[in-house]
A and B are shown apart, each in its own frame.
Chain A
């Protein structure tokens, strides 16, 4: 069984919001559109977006991490939003695990959004239907696109490549490998929705310099003379 999903690499997400607006432009002009904007040129502008990038500060100065955190529907394997929907407008596709809303069936009761723990469903105030990330279903199967462009709009846009897309049930897929090898995790596991989307944590690369590495026998001081002390320090090799 296929379960398509996004894997978001927090290790390289710079919080640029490219995924946010590119999602918006693809979906507003596409099958999921149009996504309304309220007060577009007035006070308190707001609107329907399927994907948002949030920012958190973790830790206290100077040991602070600034974490940019993109969030869209996680296409849960056990989606809380689906069984509660009274109309069947919310459904999970058997074929690929994508959770979708059928706008023609949705009555706009918002019940699904109450059930979802993640705050990723957005009620479109103009169309009066519930909306959310579609995993760009109208793009990823479009055979008129070259194969490497059959990916969600947000994934294609992301400059540092922080968004991976693929089948998390296929152990060989890029996303599964990334989850396995880089500690991929899901959000709020306690909600038992089994999100398909995963997040990859920050990693730190450090360089350790050992004292004996500092001064070696091929040191140019052997040619130039030691600059600040008259006496050349002995090299590690000489000491041994």
Chain B
């Protein structure tokens, strides 16, 4: 698949936002005294900022952003539709949470619970958008969901630690430790997905694609020499070497370095981790081999 930058931004930004929100809520729940309004209100602002940016980025992915509201219609069948509902709902909860803390309106735990539920729902929706594309075997697996959630939580937690280091230093250490654990877990599950995907054998072959059983089939023409949507959208357009190089890059950036740094330099850890996750997401797309590509292999 071709990684669309808008989607990379969307998923990484809201993932971090969701993780951050959960972190804030946990702070309030487990360390009510240390969780100052500055932390919680400011944190909520960051959550909103990140998810707002994500939402904005997502519009760039749409052909008709002015009709985006329509995408809520099919929540019964479409995970994308569900995401489109869950994201604003989550943002609303984060907003309410922040406002409630700011204006000391109370019910913050209840709002927090709702927010956390929505955050988890949103993780599920986002993950399922990909996991539900059955034809993409690399994606169609629970690990996709797990990774979206864990990596979101990890980056959110790292961000929380970084933010806490400025406004609530006492919370920095526990948050960083949590981030460490989540990042380590993320490394495990993401690693598992890498290992799994490396071993995948495609369900579809050129033989099933055109219905001819013969070991030697070579495409000579795609029907359009100047290319088409189908030759663009489903190919990353980068060399094999480049794609391969991305893996160690994102492993180092999103996992190794944050693990090293989060306990000491959480802000740097977050910046590196976020950059790493962009690379991770890029690879997530590039790695997915769409069976439609069987029809777009050779040209003349």
Measured CB to CB, the residues of A under 8 A from B are 17, 20, 39, 44-49, 52-60, 66-67, 69, 71, 80, 82-89, 105-111, 113-123, 125, 127-130, 185-192, 199, 201
Contact = CB atoms under 8 A, between A and B. Distances in A.
Given A85-B74, A86-B72, A119 B295 contact: yes
B192 interface: no
Contacts of B216: 58-60
B138 to A, nearest CB: 12
Contacts of B212: 56, 58, 67, 201
Given A56-B218, A87-B71, A105-B70, A128 B63 contact: yes
Contact of A84 (B80, B84, B233, B295): B80
A188 B226 contact: no
B295 A71 contact: yes
A119 B210 contact: no
Contacts of B177: none
Contact of A119 (B72, B79, B226, B230): B230
A109 B295 contact: no
A127 B63 CA distance: 8
Contacts of A45: 226
Contacts of B70: 86-89, 105, 107
B204 A55 contact: no
Contact of A57 (B68, B73, B218, B290): B218
A55 B292 contact: no
A49 B230 CA distance: 11
A123 B292 contact: no
A187 B211 contact: yes
A55 B64 contact: no
A108 B68 CA distance: 9
A213 to B, nearest CB: 33
Nearest to A87: B70
Interface in B61-99: 61-65, 67-68, 70-74, 77-81, 84
A107 B230 contact: no
B132 interface: yes
Interface in B144-171: none
A131 to B, nearest CB: 9
A187 B208 contact: yes
B210 A191 contact: no
B211 A52 contact: no
Contacts of A52: 222-224, 228
B234 A119 contact: yes
Contact of A49 (B204, B218, B228, B295): B228
B217 interface: yes
B172 to A, nearest CB: 40
A84 B136 contact: no
B48 interface: no
B135 interface: yes
A125 B63 CA distance: 8
B291 interface: yes
B203 interface: yes
B284 interface: no
Contacts of A201: 211-212
7 residue pairs, one from A and one from B, having the closest CB atoms: A108-B63, A128-B63, A119-B292, A52-B223, A86-B81, A86-B71, A55-B221
A150 B293 CA distance: 34
A159 B224 CA distance: 21
Nearest to B296: A119
Nearest to B80: A86
Contact of B221 (A48, A54, A80, A109): A54
Given A46-B226, A57-B217, A119-B292, A86 B209 contact: no
A114 B136 contact: yes
Nearest to A192: B134
B220 interface: yes
A17 to B, nearest CB: 8
B217 to A, nearest CB: 5
Given A60-B216, A85-B78, A105-B70, A113 B204 contact: no
Given A86-B72, A117-B291, A191-B134, A54 B222 contact: yes
Contacts of B73: 86-88
A54 B295 contact: yes
Contacts of B242: none
A56 B136 contact: no
Contacts of A86: 70-74, 78, 80-81, 84
Contacts of A88: 70, 73-74
A201 B216 CA distance: 17
B111 to A, nearest CB: 27
A87 B74 contact: yes
Q: Which of A80, A82, A187, A201 has most B Cβ within 10 Å?
A: A187
Nearest to A64: B216
Given A122-B229, A129-B63, A187-B208, 11 more contacts: A45-B226, A88-B73, A106-B64, A113-B233, A115-B134, A129-B64, A187-B211, A188-B208, A188-B209, A189-B208, A190-B203
